[in-house]
């Protein structure tokens, strides 16, 4: 959606040399699957998988490379997603499990600003749970970033050691067993 919107805005403002939005519309029309960008956009807003496949296919045809999501705005994307009606109709929330999170921090594969925004979103949301596995204390990675930024990030995470008690707390945050479901499991 954001890519289509950006292309359309650039073309409308006259700042697009390549007329990507018009080219996209032409290729969509040639496929004769969905007859307008407006319909495709509506389907994308509802997280329609076939619409996403069509978008990615045309994108690859135009750009000669697969579509890649921009991770710099992951917090914004997740926030919009969990607030959307289409998401609320199907899900209660999102759980993100990130093994080797320490590798990402150690090698500076993510900006501290992105981590701060993401951590703040998770801290303030009852719809998003993040579980990142580290082999060291979070503070061991402070020297890879600015101390002030890292201190802010560290305050937004709750550290839980992987002991029996810690695992129970993590599982408790993720799993909510209802008595009716428990009864079905016993059958």
Query: 33 and 58 in one domain?
Result: yes
Query: 90 and 38 in one domain?
Result: no
Query: 52 and 83 in one domain?
Result: no
- 187 vs 132, residue with greater confidence: 132
Q: How far apart are CA 81 and CA 48, in angstroms?
A: 13
pLDDT tops 90 at residue 56: yes
Global pTM value: 0.60
Please give the average per-residue pLDDT across 105-126, as a whole number.
86
* Domain that includes residue 22, residue range: 2-63
**DSSP string across 25-89:** HHHHHHHTSSS-HHHHHHHHHTT-HHHHHHHHHHHHHHHSS-----GGGHHHHHHHHHHSHHHHH
Query: 136 and 49 in one domain?
Result: no
Given 63, 86, 112, the domain boundary residue is 63
């Amino acid at each position: 959606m954001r890519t289509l919107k950006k292309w359309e805005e650039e073309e409308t403002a006259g700042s697009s040399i390549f007329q990507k939005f018009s080219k996209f519309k032409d290729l969509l029309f040639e496929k004769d699957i969905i007859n307008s960008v407006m319909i495709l956009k509506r389907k994308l807003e509802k997280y329609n998988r076939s619409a996403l496949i069509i978008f990615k296919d045309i994108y690859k045809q135009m750009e000669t490379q697969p579509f890649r999501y921009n991770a710099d705005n992951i917090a914004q994307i997740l926030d919009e997603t969990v607030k959307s009606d289409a998401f609320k109709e199907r899900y209660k929330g999102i759980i993100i499990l990130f093994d080797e999170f320490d590798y990402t921090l150690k090698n500076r594969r993510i900006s501290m600003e992105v981590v701060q925004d993401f951590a703040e979103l998770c801290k303030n949301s009852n719809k998003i749970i993040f579980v990142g596995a580290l082999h060291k204390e979070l503070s061991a990675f402070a020297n890879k970033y600015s101390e002030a930024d890292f201190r802010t990030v560290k305050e937004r995470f709750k550290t839980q050691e992987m002991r029996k008690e810690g695992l129970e707390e993590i599982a408790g945050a993720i799993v909510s067993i209802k008595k009716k479901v428990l009864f079905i499991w016993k059958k």
